[in-house]
Amino acid sequence: LKKKAGTIPLRTFNENDKALIKSIAIAETGSMDVLFGENIKEAFDIAEEYANGGIDTLYSLVFGDEPGDPDRKMEQELRIIIEKCKQK
């Protein structure tokens, strides 16, 4: 298990960022309890997991074996994600 290098200070996030993080946490846990007391740490842990997954995806798109413009590849990935969301 890798040791965390550090966390991003809460003051770094604006109100929209915080709302998005909380929304994702509620969707992941299925409960609003994640927003209260010491559970709020879980909300930010979930956001960190999403961010780490996104970094891996971005790295793969930019430095992967697939030829092509990384911006266009990222746009295509986003279109696929949007279509999947529309189908739900």
Higher pLDDT, 47 or 7: 47
How far apart are the C-alpha atoms of 57 and 77, rounded to whole Å?
10
- Span 8-19, pLDDT tens digits: 777 888 898 888
Tokens 């697939």, located at residue: 66
- Span 13-37, pLDDT tens digits: 889 888 888 998 999 899 999 999 9
Note whether residue 6 is domain-resident: no
Note whether residue 47 is domain-resident: yes
How far apart are the C-alpha atoms of 21 and 14, rounded to whole Å?
11
Note whether residue 39 is domain-resident: yes
Q: Into how many domains does the chain fold?
A: 1
**For the whole model, what pTM was predicted?**
0.58
Note whether residue 3 is domain-resident: no
Residue 61 backbone phi and psi in degrees, to 5: -65, -40
Rounded mean pLDDT of 48-61?
81
